[in-house]
Amino acid sequence: MPKGRDPARTEKFFSERKALFRGVVRNAHLIGNRIGQRQTDELRIRGSWLFMRASITAHSITQLFDPAPTGFGKFVYLDHPSIAVLCRALIENIAVLLYMSDTTISADEWQCRMHLVDLHDFVNRQAFISRIPYTSTMKNPEKLFAELQSRVADNAFFKTLGVRTQKRLLEGEEMFLYGRHNAMLKLGWGEDLTRGIYKYLSNQAHSLAMSFHRTEANNAYEQGSTYAKVVAGFSAEFGYKALGVGCLRMLELFPDTELAFEPAVLAAFKKEYAPTP
C-alpha cells in the first residue's frame, strides 16, 4: 500500500489492483462456465453454490471501480466504503467455500459440518423471525430444534469433541466447528494479517470510527481522492487474492476445468494463489 499522498503512485497502485482483480474475475467466470450444471456429490454442489455467489459479488465490485454519476452536480465519487464492504463479504464467502468443500476430512466430520449448518440456520432464522412482525407457520419449532440437535449429537465425529465444545455447538449459535477465524486462516495469509485485514474491512462494514473519523482530513470525497483509491485498492488486493484461492479450490473439485486454461497460464495462476500452509 503506498505511503503518503503522491497522486501518481496512488493511481498506479489502484490501477494495478483493479487490473489484477478483473483478471481473477475473468478466470472465475471461465471456471464457472466450464463447470456448468452437472450431477455430482453434495460437497461439490455446495462448493459450486458458494463459488457462484463469490463470482457475482466480485463482478459487482468491478462495476464500482468506475464511478457512475451520483446526482451531486457533475461530480463522481469512488465508492470506496462499498468496495471494502463487498471485499469483506467476498473474503468471508471464500473462507466458507473452503470450509464446506474440504475433501481432506473424514465423511463423519463433513456430515457433522453439514448438520451444524442446518442447526445454525434454524437458530438464526428463529431469532430473526421472532423479532419482526411476522407470524411463522412452522409447527412445533421446539421439536424441530431438538431433532436438529440430536442429529449433531449422534454424529460419530461430534462425539470425539470435548464436552465444552459440544455444549457450545449444540446451542446453534456457531456454524463452524473450530470458529470463523480458523476457517479464514485457510486462505493462507497467516494469523496476524488475517486478523488485521478482517478488522480493517469490518470497520468499513460497520461504519466504525476508522471508516469516517478522518473524512475531511483525508479529502475522502474530493475528485480523484487519493485516500479513496488507497482504501479501494487495499481492499481489492485481498478480495482478488481470496477469489484466486477459491478458483484453485474449484479446479481441485472439478479437475477437468483445467482444460479451459493454457498450461503456462494455469501453472502461473496456481503458483500465484496457492495458499501458504
**Tens digits of residue pLDDT in 153-188:** 999 999 999 999 999 999 999 999 999 999 999 999
Handedness of CA 231, 233, 234, 235 (dihedral sign): positive
Q: What is the mean pLDDT of residues 257-262?
A: 93
Q: What pLDDT, on the 0 to 100 scale, is given for residue 138?
A: 77
Q: What is the mean pLDDT of residues 39-46?
A: 94
Q: Are 101 and 44 in contact (CB under 8 A)?
A: yes
Confidence of residue 224 (pLDDT cuts 50, 70, 90): confident
Q: What pLDDT, on the 0 to 100 scale, is given for residue 1?
A: 56
**Tens digits of residue pLDDT in 110-153:** 999 999 999 999 999 998 888 888 877 778 889 999 999 999 99
Match 493454457 to its residue by C-alpha cell.
262
User: Taking the C-alpha atoms of 220, 223, 228 and 232 in order, what is their torsion angle to the nearest 10 degrees?
Assistant: 150
Report the C-alpha gap between 5 and 62 in whole angstroms.
Answer: 24
Report the C-alpha gap between 69 and 82 in whole angstroms.
Answer: 16
Q: What HEC string does the chain produce?
A: CCCCCCHHHHHHHHHHHHHHHHHHHHHHHHHHHHHCCCCCCHHHHHHHHHHHHHHHHHHHHHHHCCCCCCCCCCCCCCCHHHHHHHHHHHHHHHHHHHHHCCCCCCHHHHHHHHHHHHHHHHHHHHHHHCCCCCCCCCCCHHHHHHHHHHHHHCCCCHHHCCHHHHHHHHCCCCCCCCCHHHHHHHHCCCHHHHHHHHHHHHHHHCCCHHHHCCCCCCCCCCCCCHHHHHHHHHHHHHHHHHHHHHHHHHHHHCHHHHHHCCHHHHHHHHHHHCCCC
Q: What is the mean pLDDT of residues 66-92?
A: 89
Q: What pLDDT, on the 0 to 100 scale, is given for residue 7?
A: 87
- The pLDDT > 70 percentage for the chain reads 98
- pTM to 2 decimal places: 0.93
Confidence of residue 2 (pLDDT cuts 50, 70, 90): low
The neighbour count for residue 208, using CB atoms within 10 Å, is: 12
**Interior angle at CA 164, CA 176 and CA 178, nearest 5:** 20
Above 80 in pLDDT, residue 70? no
The cell numbers describing 222, all together, are: 474530493
Above 70 in pLDDT, residue 26? yes
Confidence of residue 220 (pLDDT cuts 50, 70, 90): confident
Report the C-alpha gap between 120 and 170 in whole angstroms.
Answer: 9
**Tens digits of residue pLDDT in 189-214:** 999 999 999 999 999 999 999 889 88
Closest CA to 62 of 240, 266, 207, 265: 240
- The pLDDT > 90 percentage for the chain reads 79
Mean of per-residue pLDDT scores for the chain: 93
Report the C-alpha gap between 237 and 16 in whole angstroms.
Answer: 9
Q: What pLDDT, on the 0 to 100 scale, is given for residue 88?
A: 98
Hey, what long-range contacts does 67-76 have (CB within 8 A, 24 or more apart)?
A: 75/223, 76/223
Q: Are 205 and 120 in contact (CB under 8 A)?
A: no
